[in-house]
Amino acid sequence: MERLWLGDARQKYPNQWIVAVNISWEEKCKAIGDIFLVTPDEDLAYAKANELKKSGSMGKIAVTGDDNTPHVGGLEVVCSQ
């Protein structure tokens, strides 16, 4: 596991979902944590985070990521042809 600021992790792993454990808050309100899992599957990331939270052995846990789905006014844009 590598320890990164979560903002830096999102830049390092674009278009991926990141599960970070042992989250702490550092200077300027930046969250830092150990990267536990990087996956393109949002459901898998949240499932793993829930599993880790239930075990209680990994401290605070966060999931961050971006699927780059276009949104307009808070609504998901779905294009069909």
- Sketch the domain layout of the chain as residue ranges: 3-76
Separation between Cα atoms, residue 1 and residue 79, nearest integer Å: 38
The model's pTM: 0.76
pLDDT tens profile 36-71: 999 999 899 999 999 999 998 888 999 988 766 555
Separation between Cα atoms, residue 17 and residue 38, nearest integer Å: 6
Tell me how far CA of residue 4 lies from CA of 42, 45, 69, 73, in angstroms. Answer: 20, 17, 25, 32
User: What separation, in Å, do the N-terminal and C-terminal C-alpha atoms of the chain show?
Assistant: 43
Cβ-contact 67, 32 below 8 angstroms? no
Mean of the per-residue pLDDT values of the chain: 82
